[in-house]
């Protein structure tokens, strides 16, 4: 039996009407918010309190999952040397914590029951910590991941360059695992010019 994919998307500047259209168009049945600070000064419809109201009104369950939020502290001994962006590097370390593993287990249990999407702010997945969540789900849990693009297209996740699965079943970005198949514009080095604002 084919596994139900985990979906990811970023709300960007889309208002509730556009978000509802995108979510329904992708067949998403539940939304899990993985922003650290689930508010938006520039897009009030994407604030946590409003989402808790209008998404269920649209027939789409919503919950906030703070354990998967970004902006994680970068350990001094981080082995994730592929990342040049400290936000991504810190989140890579977070994927090896019990907090992350427990949250992912719950998320994937939910995703097995109904088509579930994780949501952040950044509209483009490769500029967001969603890419690292997706790396883990695909490589460490063997589950498919699709990214919902702003125009409504669903694209399969492509592993980040330099990621590998360790013997303990966790991920590390040390460049010893070969290329993950990313195009040149999607490489982790792109993070140098980004603030990681989607995290």
Closest CA to 109 of 133, 141, 140, 83: 141
Own/partner contacts of 55-59, CB < 8 Å, gap of 24 or more, are 55/31, 58/20, 58/23, 58/24
Provide the whole-model pTM.
0.88
Closest CA to 31 of 58, 13, 1: 58
- For residue 50, the model assigns a pLDDT of 95
- Residue 8 belongs to what H/E stretch? strand 6-10
Q: For every one of its 199 residues, what pLDDT tens digit does the chain have, with 9 covering 90 and above?
A: 678 999 999 999 999 999 999 999 999 999 999 999 887 777 899 999 999 999 999 999 999 999 999 999 999 999 999 999 999 999 999 999 999 999 999 999 999 999 999 999 999 999 999 999 999 999 999 999 999 999 999 999 999 999 999 999 999 999 987 555 333 234 433 333 233 334 4
- For residue 178, the model assigns a pLDDT of 57
- Domains of the chain with CATH codes: 6-193 (3.90.190)
């Amino acid at each position: 039996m084919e596994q139900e994919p985990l979906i990811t998307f970023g709300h960007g500047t889309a208002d509730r009407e556009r978000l509802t259209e995108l979510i329904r168009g992708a067949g998403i049945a539940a939304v899990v918010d993985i922003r650290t600070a689930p508010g938006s000064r520039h897009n009030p419809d994407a604030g946590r309190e409003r989402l808790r109201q209008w998404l269920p009104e649209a027939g789409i369950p919503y919950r906030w999952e703070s354990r998967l939020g970004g902006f994680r502290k970068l350990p001094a001994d981080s082995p994730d040397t592929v990342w040049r962006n400290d936000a991504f590097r810190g989140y890579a370390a977070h994927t090896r914590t019990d907090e992350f593993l427990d949250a992912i287990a719950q998320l994937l249990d939910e995703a097995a029951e109904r088509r579930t999407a994780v949501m952040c702010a950044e509209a483009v997945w490769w500029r967001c910590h969603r890419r690292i969540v997706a790396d883990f789900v695909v490589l460490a849990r063997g589950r498919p991941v699709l990214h919902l693009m702003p125009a409504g297209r669903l694209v399969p996740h492509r592993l980040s360059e330099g990621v590998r699965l360790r013997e303990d079943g966790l991920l590390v970005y040390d460049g010893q695992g070969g290329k993950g198949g990313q195009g040149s514009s999607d490489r982790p080095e792109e993070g140098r010019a980004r603030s990681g604002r989607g995290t």
